[in-house]
Each structure stands twice: as structure tokens, then as C-alpha cells.
Structure 1
Amino acid sequence: MQETSTSPAPAYAVSDYWDGFIPEIEAADFLCQSIRTLQKWRVTGFGPQFYKPGRSVRYRRRDLRDWAEARRHASTSQY
């Protein structure tokens, strides 16, 4: 019988994941929104921070997570 390792992933791997950049389509999927919604948010300044290296738009996973968490509510009376 072969034993399997259950050690956690190295901390740098987790950090690399959250600090990684993803394209607009993956960011929209991450937030359960359409690409068009993200585009509107960028124009109005409402959405998460983004990066624009050249002509492409990129989002950092950590920024998406933090932006979504900042809008988390326990009840409708918190608005």
C-alpha cells in the first residue's frame, strides 16, 4: 500500500495564485458577471481595480476577491 502525502501546498504557491493576473473573461467568470458588466464598471470606476498592460485588460485575483468581500452583507438592512 502506497502512502499519499497530505502536506499543504507551499505558502508561496498560494500567494502566487492570488497575485496572478487573469484576463477579463476569467475575471467576469470569477465574479459571476458578464464581460460587458466589467467593461461598464471600468468606465464608471465602480468595479475592482484592473491593470492595462498595452491594449489588454488584466485583473489580479486578490483584487477581485477583496472587492467582492467588501460588498458582502449579512442582511438587506446593512445597505
Structure 2
Amino acid sequence: MTENQIPFSERDAEELLTLAEAAEILRTSTNTLRWWRQRKSGPAFFKMGRRLVTTVGDLRTFMREQRRAARPLIR
């Protein structure tokens, strides 16, 4: 089984993802991820050489934050 066949939920938190892989997981375009990065509103990316990468853990954190922000607070 290759890395791309391992379900996202089972991947190691430190595994690196390219911009294209992150876009595929989030079901958005790479341009949207670049825009979010420029606005500092998307998942944390960093440069590895010339390539932008993020970790599975950082992408999970971003997804969790988005889910929390979308839920109304119950008082």
C-alpha cells in the first residue's frame, strides 16, 4: 500500500504533504491555498527547499479550527 492509499485519518501527524496533496484533501484548488497562505488564514505551510509543504498534523489542526469556527456557541 502506498502513502496515497493510506486514509488521511491513519497517516502520521509528521508526514509531509505538498500543496497539491493538501488541496486534494481539502477539496480546493492550489491557488486557493496560496491565497489563504498569503492572507495567513489557511493551514500552516513552510518551505522545504523550493517546495511548499505542510504536515498532516497541521492540516488536521486547520480543519479542526474551521469546524469549531463554524459551530455556534451553546450557552
The aligned counterpart of 1:38 is 33
Q: How far off is 1:42 after superposition?
A: 1.0
Task: Tell me how large the CA RMSD over aligned residues is.
Answer: 2.5
In 1, Cα distance between equivalents of 2:28 and 2:12 = 21
Give the equivalent residue in structure 1 for 2:54.
59
Gap runs ≥5 in structure 2:
1-8
TM-score with structure 2 length normalisation? 0.72
Structure with the higher fraction of residues in strand conformation:
2
1:23 partner letter: T
> Aligned to 1:23, which of 1, 18, 38?
18
Give the number of equivalent residue pairs. Answer: 65
Among the aligned pairs, what percent are the same residue? 30
Structure 1 runs (4+) greater than 6 angstroms displaced: none
For the residues of structure 2 that align with 1:23 and 1:76, how far apart are their CA atoms?
29
Q: Which has the larger radius of gyration?
A: 1
Confirm or deny that 1:68 pairs with 2:69: no
| Structure 1 spans left out of the alignment, 5+ residues | 1-13
